[in-house]
Amino acid sequence: MRLENKVALITGAGSGIGRQAALLFAREGAAIAVADIAPEGAGETVRLVRAEGGRALYVQADVGRAADCERMVRAAEEAFGKLDVLFNNAGISHLDDGDAVSTEEEVWDLTIQVNLKGVFLGCKYGIPALRRAGGGAIINTASFVALLGAATPQLAYTASKGGVLALTRELAVVHAREKIRVNALCPGPLRTELLMKYLDTEEKRQRRLVHVPMGRFGEAIEIARAALFLASDESSYLTGAVFTVDGGITAAYVTPE
Q: What is the pTM of this model?
A: 0.94
Residue-wise pLDDT tens digits, 159-202: 999 999 999 999 999 999 999 999 999 998 888 776 766 676 77
Q: Say whether 157 is catalytic.
A: yes
**Catalytic residue (choose from 58, 125, 157, 237):** 157
Contact indicator for 244, 250 with CB cutoff of 8 Å: yes
90-119 in b/e burial notation, b at 16+ Cβ within 10 A?
Answer: bbbbbeebbeeeebeeebbebbbbbbbbbb
pLDDT at 211: 82
Q: Where along the chain do its domains lie? A: 7-244
In whole angstroms, what separates CA 117 from the centre of its chain?
13
pLDDT at 194: 67
pLDDT per residue rounded down to tens, the chain (257 residues): 999 999 999 999 999 999 999 999 999 999 999 999 999 999 999 999 999 999 999 999 999 999 999 999 999 999 999 999 999 999 999 989 999 999 999 999 999 999 999 999 999 999 999 999 999 999 999 999 999 987 778 999 999 999 999 999 999 999 999 999 999 999 988 887 767 666 767 766 776 777 888 888 899 999 999 999 999 999 999 999 999 999 989 888 764 45
pLDDT at 256: 47
pLDDT at 206: 73
The topology under which CATH files domain 7-244 is Rossmann fold (3.40.50)
228 class by beta-carbon count within 10 Å (0-12 exposed, 13-18 middle, 19+ buried): buried
